[in-house]
């Protein structure tokens, strides 16, 4: 169960990181 929570947190952090990068670096 702890491993599942860790994966969810990691994926959420990665998603927010990509969104922040796209916002800072417009196409």
Q: Which range marks the domain in which residue 16 is found? A: 1-27
Joined together, the tokens standing for residue 10 give 């990691």
The single residue listed with the structure tokens 């990691």 is 10
Joined together, the tokens standing for residue 2 give 């702890």
CA angle 2, 15, 20 (to 5 degrees): 135
Task: Note the pLDDT of residue 21.
Answer: 79
Total domains present in the chain: 1
pTM for the model stands at 0.57
- Mapping DSSP to helix (H, G, I), strand (E, B) and coil, where does residue 12 land? helix
Task: Note the pLDDT of residue 13.
Answer: 95
Q: How far are the Cα atoms of 2, 7, 14 from residue 17, in angstroms, in the given order?
A: 22, 15, 5
Task: Note the pLDDT of residue 19.
Answer: 85
Task: Note the pLDDT of residue 27.
Answer: 63
Tens digit of pLDDT for each residue in 3-27? Answer: 999 999 999 999 998 888 788 776 6
């Amino acid at each position: 169960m702890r491993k599942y929570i860790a994966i969810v947190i990691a994926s959420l952090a990665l998603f927010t990181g990509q969104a922040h990068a796209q916002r800072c670096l417009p196409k």
